Amino acid sequence: MSVQAKDLSAEDVIRVVGDHPDAATGVARWDIEGAFSAGFPPRVVNAKLVRLVRQGYLDGCAHSRGFQGCDGGFTVTPKGKARTEVCDGE
């Protein structure tokens, strides 16, 4: 069994982007990959980023594979903020 993008919590990824010092200008994908490096390989984190951009929770340059030199520039959309706020009510 290898880990897959669905095993990675959308809320966790959105929070990492939203809490990053570069949240306003665009967070580099390798910073997001680094935040999950203990449990998830970069390709899984990338797949999740692509999915979250497609779903409208994040803005950024979501390549399905091979970002090459592109850092992605991820920011949280209002829809993404709303999703994490729902889960913050503990």
Among 28, 30, 42, 61, binds Zn ion (CB under 5 A): 61
- Is the CB of residue 46 less than 8 Å from the CB of residue 67? yes
User: Could you tell me which stretch among 18-26, 36-44, 54-62, 78-86 binds Zn ion (CB under 5 A)?
Assistant: 54-62
Q: Does 23 bind Zn ion (CB under 5 A)?
A: no
State the Cα–Cα distance between residues 1 and 80, nearest whole angstrom: 29
Q: Does 70 bind Zn ion (CB under 5 A)?
A: yes
Total residue count of the chain as it appears in this document: 90
**CB of 70 or CB of 82, closer to Zn ion:** 70
Smallest gap from Cβ 2 to Zn ion, in A, equals: 26
**CB-based burial of residue 30 (10 Å sphere; 0-12 exposed, 13-18 middle, 19+ buried)?**
middle
Binding positions for Zn ion, rule: CB under 5 A: 61, 70
